[in-house]
Amino acid sequence: LCEAVNRHLAQPISSADIVWSFAGVRPLYDDAQSDPSAVSREYELAVDAPPGTAPLLSVIGGKITAYRQVAEHALRLLAPHFPHLGAAWTAHAPLPGGSMAAERLEAYVERLTAAHDWLDAELAWRWVRAYGTRVERLLDDVADRDALGHHFGGGLFEREVQYLRAQEWARTAEDILWRRSKLGLFLTAAEQQGLAQWLAAHPAPTAATRHDTGPGPAQSSTAR
């Protein structure tokens, strides 16, 4: 990969310049094709439900762009086991955070920064791209930048960490820096370690004590 990239760069790079890498693996349904490139990328659903047992639904293969179709198909297959299941409703429902209607993204960010005059455009843009209109939950009751709490580096504040814990089930530094975001690209090794240490020192609230209306400061969450 470095060799391919270097064909287009005046200043070549080496493996020493790589700060992060990943490999994507797509599990596909085995349809007995001898040529791997001919294997179907479509999904397959299988329900195993012997009499008197709970149904087991297996989702095999597929593409992330078909998520809604897969979900509705899955519910149709499970409907006989759930007699009170309602009709399909997702065709016109926005994704979480996508309820800004026809408003342009730029206009939404401008309105957000106008409502929170301490919020700089760079941070507002990142939050809106990451969370959409759910950024309003993140900003609930935040009066100024100090209320965002500890800054871990790279624009990551305690408030966002608490939001990810409460709303997106993040538990570890890796969850926050790599799985819920790619902020790990912008934090030094020492800053990443600092986040891990902070998480260890401030355990997430349990299900019995979690405050569901939004993230709060660490001391309130642990005491609640």
Residue 215 scores a pLDDT above 90: no
Residue 150 scores a pLDDT above 80: yes
Which structural domains are found in the chain, ordered by start? 1-93 (3.50.50.60), 140-223 (no CATH)
For 50-82, what is each residue's pLDDT tens digit? 998 999 999 999 888 999 999 999 999 999 999
Contact 90, 109 (CB under 8 A): no
Q: Which amino acid is at 54?
A: A
Torsions phi, psi for 135 (to 5 deg): -60, -25
First and final C-alpha spacing in the chain: 50
**Closest among 167, 112, 114 to 139, alpha carbons compared:** 112
For 88-140, what is each residue's pLDDT tens digit? 999 888 889 998 876 788 999 999 999 999 999 999 999 999 999 999 999 99
